[in-house]
Amino acid sequence: MEHGFLLAGDGSFTTFEAPGAGAAAGQGTEVFAINDAGGVTGRYVDANAINHGYVRAANGNITTFDAPGAGSGGARKGTIGSGINSAGAIAGWYTDGANVDHGYVRANTGTFTTFEAPGAGSASAQGTIAWAINSAGVIVGWYYDSASLAHGFVRASDGAITTFDPSGSAGTFPSAINSAGTITGEYNDAGGVAHGFIRRTSGAITAFDVPGSGAANGQGTYPNGINKSGDIAGYSENSGNVAHGFVRTP
Answer for the pair 196, 203: CB distance below 8 angstroms, yes or no.
no
Residues in the chain predicted with pLDDT less than 50, given as ranges, are: none
First to last CA, the chain: 39
Annotated domain spans of the chain: 1-135+149-164, 174-250
Rounded to an integer, what distance in angstroms lies between the CA atom of residue 6 and that of residue 40? 9
Rounded to an integer, what distance in angstroms lies between the CA atom of residue 162 and that of residue 122? 19
Query: pTM of whole model > 0.85?
Result: yes
Which contacts of 206-215 are long-range, i.e. CB under 8 A and separated by 24 or more positions? 207/166, 207/167, 207/168, 208/248, 209/236, 210/234, 210/236, 210/244, 210/246, 210/248, 212/236, 212/238, 212/244, 213/237, 213/238, 214/238, 214/239, 214/240, 214/241, 215/191, 215/239
Rounded to an integer, what distance in angstroms lies between the CA atom of residue 178 and that of residue 223? 13
- Number of CB atoms found within 10 A of residue 90's CB: 30
Answer for the pair 65, 105: CB distance below 8 angstroms, yes or no.
no
> What is the structure's pLDDT at 218?
96
> What is the structure's pLDDT at 76?
78
Rounded to an integer, what distance in angstroms lies between the CA atom of residue 155 and that of residue 130? 9
- Number of CB atoms found within 10 A of residue 191's CB: 12
> What is the structure's pLDDT at 30?
97
Rounded to an integer, what distance in angstroms lies between the CA atom of residue 147 and that of residue 137? 30
